[in-house]
A and B are shown apart, each in its own frame.
Chain A
Amino acid sequence: MKEQERFEPRIIGFLCNWCAYTGADLAGVSRMKSAPNVRVLRLMCSGRVDPTFVLRAFQLGADGVLVAGCHPGDCHYQEGNYKALRRTLLLKRVLRQFGIDERRLRLEWISASEGEKFARVANEFTEEIRALGPLELTAALETGPALELEEVRA
């Protein structure tokens, strides 16, 4: 395949400050190869991931979304990751209704010491999304009024 034809997915990674983000940092400090396709957005906790952020990411052109937090029981705020788990499972159902393949949303537990795991997840997920191809948005999501966050919240 020629260079410019290769599809480079854009992936948003919502990483919690204490585990996943530190793990990603460690991957970098340890010079591990991880796909640059994952564009990292740091939050204090995976429990902060508002489902609308995920939808908004898809709306803005992301091909995949990775939510990564601490391992169960390790959340810096005790149980934010359990809330993230519940929300992600629900959100996957919503994604299906929007015609988005639920594999485009992935939840992972990555501890602060798991630089290697972060690199592996980033690489695997990138390949998986590459195989799924670019995200084609349905008209509903492109203009979905529910997603006009600014209007509601400013």
Chain B
Amino acid sequence: MITVNINGVERQVPEGTTILQAARALDVSIPTLCYHPWLKPFGACRICTVQVQRPRGYELLTACNTPCEEGMVIRTDTDNVRQARRVVLELMLARWPNVPVLQQLAAELGVEKPRFRSEFCDEDPEACILCLRCVRICEEVVGASAIGYEDRGIKRRVVTPFNRESEACVACGACAQVCLTHHIKFEPEDYRGKPPEFLLGPNTAIFIPTPQAVPKVPRIDPEACIHFKTNGCQKCVEVCEAKAVNHEMTDQEIEIEVGQILLATGYELFDASVMSQYGYGRLDNVYSALDIERMLNATGPTGGRVLLKNGQPPRAVAIIHCVGSRDENYQRYCSRVCCMYALKFAHLIKERCPEAEVYDFYIDMRAFGKGYEEFYSRVLHEGTNVIRGKVAEVVQAGWSKQDEGTLLVRCEDTLIGRFREIPVDMVILCNAIVPQRDAERVARLFGLSRSPDGFFLERHPKLDPVATSTDGLFVAGCAQGPKDIPDSVAQASAAAARMLATIAKGVVEIDPVRAEINEEFCSGCRVCNALCPYSAIEYLADKNVSRVNSALCKGCGTCVAACPAGAITGYGFNDRQIQAELEGLLAVR
């Protein structure tokens, strides 16, 4: 530790501390421009000039890059200091008279009218003032070194190599972030290809997925994180006091032994861009139902406000039911939840944008649950316009200035038997609920069947709606078919109860359908050994016979049908029983 004296106050600081750091620790303010706490001190702008007492007089030094020395006496508030800073600023203003940061500093330091004017004067308020924070952050923190400077003295300029689009740039925007004059601007197409002003998802590299996330910890998106592109940055590691950020973490495969499994893998939303007539992904302000769920959410990107892309509230909103549901070309089934959430949207939009007209286009209104029909009539009384008819298309309203951003919904109103065109500025599509895209693979994995709509098949639609044809495997929720939250919860509770019952019992009952080998008839040919899909048949070399391990045998009967000696009996389905059945079946003409 060394002792310094700043403006008459003594302070102990660790060795290597700069004057600027020591001053800031004492709440003594020193103006800076080229300094940035993440960067190595640079000392280019000289605005941070301070006065250091020396045995014979004093010395003017830059605070940001001068280390403290034992017994140093520093003054930041003398006329000399103020004068020096004013001159620095006047010289800068001579070149860049209109840059706001400089003007603001000038006002603070009492520079009224600069005395000089450079012949290289740049009137641009967003001119580069050559603090080079951008070049330095790109090299020192990001690690990309995608920009640098060329030439010297008055001609110095910040450029990319060879003035071409830099391949080294990782589009992190750090340079624009530290730029003092907005000379560098960051206009990203978001990496998911969406405009940045209206992102319905996370827009930083490290984020907590949702406020209700379990576990509630931030995670890093490796596609956005700078560290995975340049090996640099890791600012999050530096600031995390708990030392919890670990960029080395990778996906892990964990094996857990279980006796029962509940499949609740849910649904996916039908991709509405396939139905190009509705313009999803093509026209601005056409949203999927889940986009709108995000928007309506108080913790969502708009804080729960309903907004158009231009940040204005909509004047008229169309909600289109059955997008991809009840449609011979896509899904034939009804997605079951859309009518009700569409009414929920209508209600919430009316609540948040009381001025907006809401048009709800439906084929049939399916308000099937407890309290649902009542909710429907409430929404009607709130003034939502419901129109019975399938929307034919959504188009851009026109090309005049006045029509800009408005959409036209074309549809047949089947209740009045007329074709209608309704101008709106926001369209919400109620996408069908479809099986997860990996449902086929999951079904194979668990030996499950799927119904024609692609959802997992229950053992029996009425008598056993939560079990499946595979023992110990249960289904619940939208994995089994479209349903709302109350129904999903009911089904999941039933499944959980079934599983608990088995656990409580402590024993598993297995089907008595099993194969057994009569050792007297078995010739030891071992044909059956290789056939059994469960390797349940072992060969006893000493006796030269095969034997079925009845705990492993599942009773398929393949070996029974194959044994050339007829030595295997399939209990429940033995040859005599089947014979008798055949005789019985064919006894009557």
- Interface residues in chain A, defined as those with a beta carbon under 8 Å from any beta carbon in chain B: 8, 10, 12, 18-19, 22, 29, 39, 41, 43-45, 47-51, 53, 56-57, 60-62, 73-74, 76-80, 83, 87, 111-114, 149-150, 152-154
Measured CA separation A44–B583 after assembly (Å): 19
**Is the CB of B513 closer than 8 A to any CB of chain A?**
yes
Residues of B in contact (CB 8 Å), total: 36
Chain B positions 552-577 with a Cβ under 8 Å from a chain A Cβ:
554-558, 560-562, 566, 570, 572-573, 575-576
Q: A39-B586, A48-B570, A57-B586 are in contact. Are A80 and B457 (CB under 8 A)?
A: no
Complex alpha-carbon distance, A150 and B531, angstroms: 24
User: When the two chains form their complex, are residues A79 and B461 in contact, meaning their CB atoms are under 8 A apart?
Assistant: no
A149 and B513: CB pair below 8 A? no
A8, A73, A78 interface centre (most CB from chain B within 10 Å): A78
Minimal Cβ-Cβ distance residue in A for B449: A112
Within 8 A of A (CB), among B459-490: 461, 469-470
- With the chains together, A113 CA to B447 CA distance in Å? 14
Docked pose: A62 CA to B581 CA in angstroms: 13
- For B531, the closest partner residue in chain A by CB is A83
Task: Give the A-binding residues of B (Cβ under 8 A).
Answer: 444, 447, 449-452, 457, 461, 469-470, 513, 531, 533-534, 554-558, 560-562, 566, 570, 572-573, 575-576, 578-579, 581-583, 585-586, 589
- In the bound complex, residues from chain B placing their C-beta under 8 Å from that of A19 are 449
Report Cα–Cα, A150/B581, bound state, in Å.
14
Output the least CB separation between B577 and chain A (Å).
10
| Interchain CA distance A47-B533 in the complex, whole Å | 11
Kindly list 8 other residue pairs between chains A and B, CB separation below 8 angstroms, not including A48-B570, A49-B561, A113-B451: A43-B578, A44-B555, A50-B560, A56-B582, A76-B447, A77-B534, A80-B556, A80-B557
Question: Can you list 11 A-B contacts with CB-CB less than 8 angstroms, sorted by A residue number?
Answer: A19-B449, A41-B582, A43-B578, A48-B560, A48-B573, A53-B582, A57-B582, A79-B533, A112-B469, A113-B449, A149-B566
Cα–Cα distance between A134 and B266 once the two chains are bound (Å): 52
Supposing A19-B449, A76-B447 touch, asked if A47 and B558 sit within 8 A by C-beta, the answer is yes
Inter-subunit contact A12/B586 (CB<8 Å): yes
B581 in contact with A48 (CB, 8 Å): no
A77 and B582 contact, CB distance less than 8 A: no
Q: Select the residue from A10, A19, A44, A83 with max chain B CB neighbours within 10 A.
A: A44
CA of A48 to CA of B561 in the docked complex: distance in angstroms? 5
Chain B residues within 8 Å of A112, by CB: 449, 457, 469
For B470, B561, B573, B575, which residue has the most chain A Cβ atoms within 10 angstroms?
Answer: B561
Complex Cα spacing A44 to B520, Å? 26
Determine whether the beta carbon of A113 is less than 8 Å from that of B457: yes
- With A44-B555, A48-B560: A78-B576 Cβ-Cβ less than 8 Å: no
Q: Does B533 lie within 8 Å of A77, measured CB to CB? A: yes
Contacts known (A29-B461, A61-B586); A56 close to B579, Cβ less than 8 A: yes
Contacts of B560 in A (CB 8 A): 48, 50
- Cα(A92)–Cα(B55), bound, Å: 114
A74 touching B449, Cβ below 8 Å: yes
Across-interface contacts of B579 in A (CB, < 8 A): 56, 149-150
Contacts of A77 in B (CB 8 A): 533-534, 554, 556, 558
> Once the chains are docked, how many angstroms separate the CA of A69 from the CA of B449?
13
